[in-house]
Amino acid sequence: MPYRHVVGPQTYLFADLRDLMAKATPLRSGDMLAGVAAASAEENVAARMCLAEVPLATFLSEALVPYETDEVTRLIIDTHDAAAFRPISHMNVGDFRDFLLSGVATSEVLAALAPGVTPEMAAAVSKLMRNQDLIAVAKKCRVVTKFRNTIGLPGTMAVRLQPNHPTDDPAGVTASILDGLLYGCGDAVIGINPASDSLPVLSELLRLIDGIIQRFDIPTQACVLTHVTTSTEVINRGVPVDLVFQSIAGTQAANASFGIDLAVLREGHEAALSLKRGTLGDNVMYFETGQGSALSANAHHGVDQQTLEARAYAVARPFKPLLVNTVVGFIGPEYLYDGKQIIRAGLEDHFCGKLMGVPLGCDVCYTNHAEADQDDMDTLMTLLGAAGVTYIMGIPGSDDVMLNYQSTSFHDQLYLREVLGLKRAPEFEAWLQAMGITGPDGRLKTQRGNHPLLAAARELAA
């Protein structure tokens, strides 16, 4: 069904809901590359004005990606919670924004609403929101998950310790893990991106991280970020696996380019659950996403990249993941051109995930061919800290020497805790104190060379 909006003498026509959503999206290079972006600033605002009047219920009847050929659309429609949706079922998208910002939408109301919010509804309302709106509403959303600690409590922010190494060298990986722990990082997960995809190497890395966690009784979890089918295979071989990882996207075709579908994810989920390694909870999945992944796989169906990103959270949602993060600036400037676009996308992704009830963190990052630098990352991480982001990355000195991009560092999370008063997952915070890494105020203590972690370093790295 076509949509139209009149601005003075000009009538803007939008072919269908998909076209309207794309043209209402704040400008970004990926939508321009796909040829779906608004042609002018006025058309962009006209599309937003038109979108504001679209009833939320329309998104349940007009699919942006065809129901018949896309299992993600079927998942979204078939599992939609009509009872949860009822309180907002009479609203249009503009009303929905006003409601979300109002005092009526408390944390409890938003939590009850989440199963009734489809990704398309979340994406649509985000397109009408300024950055401060995205922050203010996300801040009210509470998503708490558990494995060996409790992630997502109000006033906390966790950190993934990311000890990547260009050749997966165990000693080098260990050195980065110890550095990170001594900087108070690792409550979200100690999670490594392996350079290799060979099963013996992956198994060795899993045993290495598990060994450190067991030896020092650290209330956290390990993950080696490899393909879900590979994780299932190492589980079958008896290797200790806490979290099963997978990159996911918002269409069936894009997921196929990752070599997965929903059935494959279910197998990985069941394999991880079967190990029963969580002590506090059974949130066993870790997913990564990022705007532009569907277009880069030529699997975008003419839908804007931000809406498709929100659909990836719908893929994640039924698996009750411990962690989901958008890798916001990793994919390159053809999708998010500069710091301004990366910052906007990070806030949108976080908002949409949280509104849908998904524990969203963010890899606040950029590549060297994007128009971005450390100042842009400082801005985005500070805004996300204010928005209540579930976790960020912790990488030694911001420099990922395996993946060749820059993310947030062990120091960056200390800065956020200082300026925003954010605490760690409580069990991990207590462990740091017991280990003498932090004081009662949560601040780092100066370490002498005889700290038990350091005393064990030589042995662990051997």
Partner 1 sequence: MSRPEMEVEPANDPVPPADHVIEGGEYRIEDSWSRLAGITPARIALGRVGAGLPTREVLRFALAHAQARDAVHAPFDSARMAGEIAGLGFETLELASAAPARDAYLRRPDLGRRLSDASRAVLRAGEFDPVDLAIVVADGLSSTAIHAQAVPFLTAFQARIAAAGWRVAPVVIASQARVALGDEVGEALRAAAVVVLIGERPGLSSPDSLGLYLTFAPRAGRTDAERNCISNVRGEGLSHDQAAFKLAWLLEQALARQLTGVSLKDESDLLLVNGQPPVPRLG
Is 164 a binding residue for partner 1 by CB under 8 A? The answer is: yes
Cα-Cα end-to-end distance for the chain: 65
Residue 333, C-beta contacts closer than 8 angstroms, at least 6 positions apart: 29, 367, 369, 370, 371
* Contacting range for partner 1; rule: CB under 8 A; set: 97-105, 113-121, 163-171, 268-276: 163-171
296 is in an annotated binding site: yes
- Nearest CB to partner 1, comparing residues 66 and 452: 452
The residue from 53, 62, 217, 373 that contacts partner 1 (CB under 8 A) is: 373
> Cα torsion for 380, 373, 406, 357, to the nearest 10°?
20
Nearest one of 181, 209, 180 to 194, comparing CA atoms: 209
Does 252 count as an annotated binding residue? no
Distance of closest approach, residue 71 Cβ to partner 1, in angstroms: 23
Q: Out of 179, 204, 233, 267, which residue is the one contacting partner 1 (CB under 8 A)?
A: 179
Per CB under 8 A, 200 contacts partner 1: no
Closer residue to partner 1 (CB): 339 or 396: 396
Buried b vs exposed e over 126-161: b needs ≥16 C-beta within 10 Å? bbbbebebbbbbbbbbbbebbbbbbbbeeebbbbbb
Site for partner 1 in 337-366 (CB under 8 A): 337
Give the integer Cα–Cα distance in Å for 176 and 174: 5
Distances (CA, A) of 328 to 107, 129, 296, 364: 26, 19, 14, 6
Tokens of 283: 């949130």
Asked if residue 175 binds partner 1 (CB under 8 A), the reply is yes
Which listed residue (116, 152, 163, 250) binds partner 1 by CB under 8 A? 163
* The only residue of 126, 176, 232, 247 in contact with partner 1, by rule CB under 8 A: 176
CB under 8 A: which stretch of 171-179, 197-205, 261-269, 313-321 binds partner 1? 171-179
247's tokens? 């990159």
Contact call for residue 391 and partner 1 (CB under 8 A): no
Site residues for partner 1, window 11-40 (CB under 8 A)? 29, 32-33
Answer yes or no: is 160 a known binding residue: yes
Three-state secondary structure call for residue 3: strand
Q: Does 182 bind partner 1 (CB under 8 A)?
A: yes
Residue 161 assigned ligand-binding role: yes
Instruction: For residue 30, give the H/E element and its range.
Output: helix 29-33
- DSSP β-bridge partners for residue 363: 327
- CA angle, residues 292, 297, 300, in degrees to nearest 5: 65
- C-alpha to C-alpha distance for 237 and 444, rounded to whole angstroms: 39
Q: Is 418 in the site for partner 1 (CB under 8 A)?
A: yes
- Which one among 90, 411, 421, 436 touches partner 1, defined by CB under 8 A? 411
Taking the complex as a whole, the smallest distance from the CB of residue 192 to partner 1 amounts, in Å, to: 11
Q: Is 56 annotated as a binding residue?
A: no
3-state secondary structure of 328: coil
Q: Which residues are annotated as a binding site for adenosylcob(III)alamin?
A: 194, 246, 296, 402
Binding residues vs partner 1 (CB under 8 A): 29, 32-33, 163-166, 169, 171-173, 175-176, 178-179, 182, 332-334, 337, 367-369, 373-374, 395-399, 401, 404-406, 409, 411, 414-415, 417-418, 441, 443-444, 446-449, 451, 454, 457, 461
